[in-house]
């Protein structure tokens, strides 16, 4: 897998990605909603994202490492919500291939990584925000969608 260039950074909040069914899974594991194929990953703790491509705001930071297809996620605010990176992997024709989210449930100030394996040469859309995992599961998108060639 070679390095890939950022395709574009948009100011759009992006297309709405289907809401995840709340799934209980151990940290560092993935679960899929059988009806929709929505993947939910609970990230594994890491110290930093290294030289990954990043964007951030006051509450969350999300990074993507093209080589290895890794999403890094930092929860920057102790607000009782978990940082979440919602992603959509599309075949170049624009058809949805896979979709899901990477969750950081480790708390404020922590980094996690979700190690994925996206379709080669496809489009990857990522947006980040927070989700209330202990309450109603509501998602708040806070970082606009950006796209990357996977």
Taking the domains of the chain in order of start, what are their residue ranges? 6-149
Q: What is the pLDDT of residue 17?
A: 25
Q: Of 1.10.1660, 1.10.760, 2.60.40, 3.40.50, which CATH number belongs to 6-149?
A: 2.60.40
Please tell me the distance from the alpha carbon of residue 24 to that of residue 125, in angstroms, as a whole number.
Answer: 25
Please tell me the distance from the alpha carbon of residue 148 to that of residue 127, in angstroms, as a whole number.
Answer: 11
Question: pLDDT (tens digit, 0 to 9) for every residue of the chain, 150 residues total?
Answer: 332 322 322 222 222 222 222 222 333 445 544 334 899 999 999 999 988 989 999 899 999 999 899 999 999 999 999 999 999 999 877 889 999 999 999 999 999 999 999 988 899 999 999 999 888 888 887 777 666 676
Please tell me the distance from the alpha carbon of residue 140 to that of residue 120, in angstroms, as a whole number.
Answer: 29
Distance of CA 57 to the CA centre of its chain: 15
* Percent of the chain that is helix, strand, coil (3-state, to 5): 0, 50, 50
């Amino acid at each position: 897998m070679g390095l890939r260039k950022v395709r574009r950074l948009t100011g759009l909040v992006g297309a709405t990605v289907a809401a995840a069914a709340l799934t209980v899974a151990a940290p560092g594991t993935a679960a899929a909603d059988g009806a929709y194929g929505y993947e939910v990953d609970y990230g594994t703790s890491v110290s930093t994202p290294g030289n990954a491509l990043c964007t951030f705001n006051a509450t969350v930071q999300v990074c993507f490492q093209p080589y290895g297809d890794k999403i890094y996620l930092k929860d920057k605010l102790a607000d009782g919500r978990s940082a979440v990176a919602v992603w959509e992997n599309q075949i170049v024709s624009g058809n949805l291939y896979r979709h899901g989210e990477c969750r950081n449930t480790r708390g404020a100030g922590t980094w996690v990584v979700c190690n994925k394996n996206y379709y080669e040469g496809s489009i990857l859309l990522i947006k980040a925000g927070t989700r209330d995992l202990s309450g109603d599961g509501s998602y708040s998108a806070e970082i606009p969608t950006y796209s990357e060639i996977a």
